[in-house]
């Protein structure tokens, strides 16, 4: 299926982009523009993300599933592409604003052209102020960043080094009087040095999806009644797993820490996952208790 490039008409022009100091004179798009009922959240971060950064993206986007939230990012390597991927996985609308034109021949970065097509196929969109055949260049990315920051109610910053280009978008969000949300990171990680700068300046810390919903003014849904999963009937070995999963852990680390041989530990994890006590994604395990 083809997705032609169209001009954004004046009646379709995202209203928040009219408010920024240097609004685009014109916009092109492919796919579907953000539906007006959605609250848009820009998600930005480091190209060189850590496993922690990926876990954060996956967890927060999963927590937004089923809510009227749209995810905006720049299609770039790293946190940007993870945000788009997680939005697709959780059936959230997502809008990509690349640093160049929207023609297939110039979509940047080129390896993300399949991701761009999947965004379009899912009912999402691509947006740019550049001509169809414009190739991304050094100066086009900072200029693009003002659209990412300006189109959304809030910007979520996940991992950024002290001199990361991502911080440009974060500063623009504050300059445009948008909400800036920041995920705290390890004090020992260089990829969190930039994010912590904004926490010190008063950005809103985010540790759960509810924090995002609160800022966007969206009421959290009341969980439907169900039989709660408890630890009452767990064996000593199963309780040991739950204790280790007070924080997410990689499968290899979890098996190494359990006081049993590898084959027995693997079987234990499989049975606990089938019973619903734990869950895993990309070999990262979490417990499912509230």
Q: What is the model's pLDDT at position 221? A: 80
Residue 43, helix vs strand vs coil: strand
Distance CA(162)–CA(142), nearest Å, equals 17
Domains of the chain (ranges; CATH) run 6-216 (3.40.50.450), 236-287 (1.10.10.10)
For residue 7, what are the β-bridge partners? Answer: 28
Give Cβ neighbours of residue 90 (< 8 Å, ≥ 6 apart).
61, 62, 64, 65
Residue 109 preceded by cis peptide, ω within 30: yes
How many other CB atoms sit within 10 Å of the CB of residue 171? 16
Residue 225: what pLDDT?
Answer: 47
For residue 15, count CB atoms less than 10 angstroms from its CB and return exposed for 0-12, middle for 13-18, buried for 19 or more: exposed
- Asked if 144 and 74 touch (Cβ cutoff 8 Å), the reply is yes
Rounded to whole angstroms, how far apart are CA atoms 207 and 214?
12
Distances (CA, A) of 200 to 46, 85, 144, 186: 19, 30, 26, 15
Sequential pLDDT tens for the chain (290 residues): 668 888 888 878 889 999 998 899 889 999 999 988 999 999 999 888 898 999 999 999 999 999 999 999 999 999 999 999 999 999 999 999 999 999 999 999 999 999 999 999 999 999 999 999 999 998 999 899 999 999 999 999 998 887 777 888 989 999 999 999 999 988 888 888 888 988 988 899 999 999 999 999 999 887 554 455 666 678 889 899 998 998 888 988 998 999 888 878 888 888 888 778 888 877 888 888 76
Q: Among positive and negative, which fits the CA dihedral 140, 129, 115, 73?
A: positive
The pLDDT of residue 229 is 60
pLDDT of residue 142: 87
Pull the structure tokens for residue 177.
């009087």
Task: Look at residues 23, 31, 8, 5 and name the one whose alpha carbon lies nearest to residue 133.
Answer: 5
Closest CA to 239 of 287, 198, 169, 182: 287
């Amino acid at each position: 299926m083809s997705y032609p490039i169209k001009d954004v008409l004046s009646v379709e022009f995202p209203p928040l982009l009219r408010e920024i100091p240097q609004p685009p004179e014109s916009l092109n798009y492919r796919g579907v523009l953000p539906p007006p009922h959605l609250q848009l959240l820009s998600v930005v971060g480091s190209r060189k993300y850590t496993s922690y950064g990926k876990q954060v993206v996956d967890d927060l986007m999963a927590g937004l599933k089923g809510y009227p939230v749209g995810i905006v990012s720049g299609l770039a390597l790293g946190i940007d592409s993870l945000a788009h991927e997680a939005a697709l996985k959780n059936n959230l609308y997502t809008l990509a604003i690349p640093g160049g034109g929207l023609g297939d021949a110039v979509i940047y970065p080129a390896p993300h052209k399949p991701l761009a097509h999947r965004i379009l196929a899912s009912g999402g969109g691509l947006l740019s102020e550049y001509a169809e055949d414009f190739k991304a260049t050094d100066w086009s990315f900072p200029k693009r960043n003002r659209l990412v920051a300006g189109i959304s109610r809030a910007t979520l910053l996940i991992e950024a080094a002290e001199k990361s280009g991502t911080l440009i978008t974060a500063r623009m969000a504050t300059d445009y009087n948008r909400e800036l949300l920041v995920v705290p990171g390890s004090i020992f990680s260089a990829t969190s040095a930039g994010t912590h700068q904004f926490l010190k300046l008063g950005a809103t810390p985010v540790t759960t999806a509810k924090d995002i919903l609160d800022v966007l003014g969206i009421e959290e849904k009341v969980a439907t009644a169900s039989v709660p999963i408890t630890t009452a009937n767990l064996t000593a070995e199963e309780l040991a797993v739950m204790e280790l999963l007070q924080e997410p852990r990689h499968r290899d680390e979890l098996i190494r820490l359990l006081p049993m041989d590898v084959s027995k530990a693997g079987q234990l994890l499989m049975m606990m996952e089938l019973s619903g006590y734990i869950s895993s994604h990309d070999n990262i395990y979490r417990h499912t208790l509230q």
